[in-house]
Structures are given as structure tokens and as C-alpha cells.
Amino acid sequence: MSTAAFAATATLTVDAGHTTTAVGPYQFGHIIEDINHSMEGGLLANVVRNGTMKEGTANPPSSWSLVTAGGGTGSIAADTAGPLNAANQRALRLTVTGNAPGQRVGAANGGFYGIGVRPSTTYQVAFWARATAGFTGPLTVTIESTGGAVHATSSVSGLGTGWQKFTTTLTTGPGAPVSTANRFVIAANGAGAGQSVWLNVVQAIGPTFQATGSLRRDLEQLMEDTRPGFLRVPGGNYLEGAVIANRFAWKNTIGPVE
């Protein structure tokens, strides 16, 4: 029998001006799942990727590369000797083999598909570092184009043989371009030949939604403007992890990031 024999026409009438049942405000919200860099590289304001050197097992650590100028020479590699702590046992070692005045040897981070730059923007930089005995420093910290044009620069000094936390700020100039073809660099410029510097838990946090927070101002404002009734973190089924060993252990996330 032909299906045409069962064909029928139905009419649905909608009265959009008449409310019969109220929907609770807490039934609309956001589910946030850390995939495709929705958190790291997304909502999180830190523009440095793999700052703890634990993303994968590549050596040198992924997202990091050696940068030199003026004839300076050196190398970078993952190093597990003398770790920062039990939670961060894999550091980036920058070994300087030639670094006379006017030369440069450093470690560059490419960020998440580049590092976004805008005019007059401040980044709060923090990292842990130690050096071999006799390192004179200082370390120069920059956000620059992939071609080496510096958009923001600062320096830190006082490195020793033990791990220390260093903080500084980077502020782009009013003429800085709006671009993502940029990198974050920590370098020994013209100092410390024959020495090594270890780096871990490297962060460069751009403008945040709250002054003491770590979420990007622009993306979090978009979420705030929707007036969500709830936030679910993480979303989906990512809570349990791929295996029990890497499930989300929330109690271990309380305290300093390092």
C-alpha cells in the first residue's frame, strides 16, 4: 500500500502572548568543558601555553622554542633534576653557551595559536626560576612579534641556585598592533655565558574580569551579560577523566597554582 494513503495535514496554533507555565531562571545557564582550549587558551587569561612543561612528553616541551640573536648560542630542554616540587617535576632548562654583550639567548612560548596583543594592555607575569652558581642575569621578559619586534618588555634579577618566584608586568605601548602573531620570551641578553636557567609555572595573565581573578575580561563579560542561572564546571562527561588516575581531583586544586 502506498504511504500516500496515510498522508494527513496537521495545524499547530501557537499563542505566544499567553504564558501558561513559568520557567525557573535557574534552568538556563552555561556548561563549561575544558576541550578545544575553552578554558586554557579560552576563559583563562594566561596567554602562556604549557607553562608547567607537563603538556605531553616532547623534549623540548611543546609550545617552547629557542630564540637567539646577535650570534648568541644555546639550547633548551626538559629537565627533571632538582624539580620545583612534587607537583611540578619537569622544568625547562635554558643552557647558554655563547652570550656576549649585544647577543641574546632565550626561551620563547608561542601561546595558544599565537599571543593576542592590543595597544596599552598590561600582562601580569609570574614564573619560578633558578640558575647555576655564578649566573649574573638579569632575565629580560618580553612580548614581541614572531619577527622580533618588541611590544612590551621588563626584566627581573636576583636569581640564585634555589627556586624563587619572580613577578613583573608587561604593558604594550599605545601604538602596539592588534595581532596574534606574537610570542612570550624569557631571555638572558648579553650575560651568563656558560650558565643555565631553569623555568617552571610560567604565566602572563592579561586583563581579567575581576581584579584578583584569572578569567579573561572580554569572554567572562559576555557570559555575565547572559545572566546565567547556573555554571556547570566541567560539563559533559569529562569529570571522570580518561582513566581514574587523571580524573578531576578537586581537593588538589585548592591553594597556590604551583
Q: Return the pLDDT at 32.
A: 83
Q: Which residues contact 46 (CB under 8 A, 6 or more apart)?
A: 40, 203, 204, 205, 214
Q: What are the backbone angles phi and psi of residue 205, rounded to the nearest 5°?
A: -100, 120
Largest CA distance in the chain: 93
Look up the pTM and report it: 0.87
For residue 55, pLDDT over 70 is answered with yes
CB-based contacts of 101, cutoff 8 Å, min separation 6: 190
Residue 244 has pLDDT above 90, yes or no: no
pLDDT (0 to 100) of residue 245: 80
Per-residue model confidence (pLDDT) at position 192: 76
* Average pLDDT over the chain, rounded to an integer: 91
- For residue 138, which amino acid is it? P
Query: Residue 136: what pLDDT?
Result: 76
Please name the amino acid found at residue 12: L
Residue 197 to residues 53, 148, 156, 234: CA-CA distances in angstroms?
Answer: 15, 22, 13, 36
Q: Report the pLDDT value the prediction gives residue 3, as an integer from 0 to 100.
A: 64
* CATH architecture of the region 46-205: Sandwich (2.60)
Domain boundaries, the chain: 28-45+209-258, 46-205
3-class DSSP assignment, residue 20: coil
Candidate from 18-22, 38-42, 80-84, 235-239 with smallest mean pLDDT: 235-239
Instruction: Classify residue 3 by burial, with Cβ atoms within 10 Å: 0-12, 13-18, 19+.
Output: exposed
Q: How far is CA 78 from CA 65, 90, 91, 237, in A?
A: 11, 6, 6, 32
pLDDT over 90, % of the chain: 69
For residue 122, the model assigns a pLDDT of 97
- Rounded Cα–Cα distance for residues 16 and 32 (Å): 31
* Structure confidence by residue, pLDDT tens digits, 163-211: 999 999 999 999 999 999 999 999 998 887 889 999 999 999 999 999 8
